[in-house]
Structure 1
Amino acid sequence: MSFTLFLSLFAIGAGLGLLIREIFNFELPMPRYLSGVFLLLLGIHFMIIQLGKTTDSETYTVVFNERNFSYNSNISNEYVVVFGASRINLENLDLNNESKSIEIDVVFGHADVVLPDSIPYIIESNIAFGGTDGNGPNNGGIGDFTTYSNEFSSDSIYLTIRANVSFGSITWR
């Protein structure tokens, strides 16, 4: 059970508890009743957001959770990790005679990014109290960093990865 699902079920249970207590006692103080309704709706909202995620958007988001993603040229160009962890596999990425761009945002979380072996890339990192390490650039602290793959040439097509890290980390593989 993910943290979001747990939080959703807890909020729904707390809201139902307040509603049942208020309904069966027939004392209906509005602040308590509204608190129950608020908690109930908040729980349902979190659950719908968590369960209603589809794969036809352009952003993959992980919040209080852990997920694995593989690059899909039709839909994924942005990955967001907030208070969670993710493995982003870019090995099956194909440039198809045009340069492409991907954005990876990590806030209080961690992302493992599998870089393509045969594709030239540039990684533009914007780091605030975080870091990147592994086979790609090893940067930390605060600042903007740019790293090029060995195959990179500005005259040819290449992949641009924009990595924004705040209080988190990215491991390049």
Structure 2
Amino acid sequence: MSAFVRAARFVGDLDDEFYADELRRDIWNEASAVGFQSFLWIGSIAGAVLPFAAGVTGAWVALGVFLVLTSVSFVVLGYAKARGIDMYASQKLRRARLVFAGLLLFVCGPGAALRLLAHYGGGNPGPMLIGAAIAAPVGFAAGVIGIKNRQRQVREAERAAEEAELLGFDPNK
């Protein structure tokens, strides 16, 4: 077990006797998923609104919210991956829910950063907006390509494992 998984188990108190009961653990896991998703949605909506509703102060708060949301998300994805589940490979990414969440996060983080850069950047946001207009689609495309490549790698590994199983070969030996 890696140090990351041990630390996550400690933070989540996963060795507590509470988790010994299967039904209780399942219900708690569902409740935790609902809580995590609520945290993401409420934080994303608040972070997307704050730079526009509360100006520079709201942009600073939104930037903090964005950093917390992305950090917690990476911890969740990292723990799942360390336990053998790659969410990028095992779910459809072309869902309206994910697109909307991505747009909210895009408005939350980069939107707050743009607001702050415009405020502290000497009043000429033109070059910054041009850079953002170029960098945003390039970054998005790089992310999509990376996720698609990872999904392809997982499919190929699964296919190779199935073929090895059919041939009676155990690749783990």
Same fold (TM over 0.5): no
TM-score normalized by the length of structure 1:
0.27
TM-score, structure 2 as length reference: 0.27
> 1 or 2, which has the higher helix percentage?
2
Higher relative contact order (CA 8 A, sep 6+): 2
Structure that is richer in strand per residue: 1
